[in-house]
Amino acid sequence: MTGIGDDPTGCRARDPDDLVGRVRPYTITGGRTRTAGIDLPVEALLQRTERGERALPAARMERRRILELTVEPLSVAEVTARVGVHLGVARVLLGDLAAEELVVVHRPPSTEGTNQLDLALLERVLDSLRAL
């Protein structure tokens, strides 16, 4: 477990005002700043599972908000912005929910192997943009 003082993200408190803003985000995550091995690129789509739906009534605060929002597929970035937390915090929370199988993560194809998007996908993006 990582304490605030040796926070690898470097978001350390500087002044009293700051302290509120700095400490609070990672209090939500129990002080953790890393997810447990779940890859969550900013564009990955999250959707709550049936189990997540069942867990909703008992869920509190940010977890509840995430489970409410992910009734339809929503990106990590959108969830982060709408819940109003830092990206690092959101990733920890989402990693937990994914590990508990309350949300399912749909990753873009490119992050599951090479860094290269396949040509057919690029061509589809191109055609769709032209049709806009």
Range 54-83, binding another protein (CB under 8 A): 71-73, 75, 77-78, 80-82
Site string for another protein, 15-44 (x = CB under 8 A): ---x--xx------------------xxxx
CA distance 91 to 22: 16
Rounded to 5 degrees, φ, ψ at 75 are: -70, 160
Taking the mean position of all CA atoms in its chain, how far away is CA 84?
A: 12
Shortest Å, Cβ 13 to another protein: 10
3-state secondary structure of 77: helix
Q: Give yes or no for residue 101 binding another protein (CB under 8 A).
A: no
User: Are 67 and 59 in contact, with CB atoms under 8 Å apart?
Assistant: yes
Q: How far is the CB of 129 from another protein (least distance, A)?
A: 5
- Binding segment for another protein (CB under 8 A), chosen from 47-55, 59-67, 95-103, is 47-55
CB 89 within 8 A of CB 25: yes
Contact range with another protein by CB under 8 A, out of 57-65, 93-101, 115-123: 115-123
At residue 47, the 3 state secondary structure works out as: strand
Residue 69 identity: L
Q: What is the contact surface with another protein in residues (CB under 8 A)?
A: 9-12, 14, 18, 21-22, 41-45, 47-48, 53, 71-73, 75, 77-78, 80-82, 86-88, 106, 108-111, 115-117, 119, 121-126, 128-130, 132
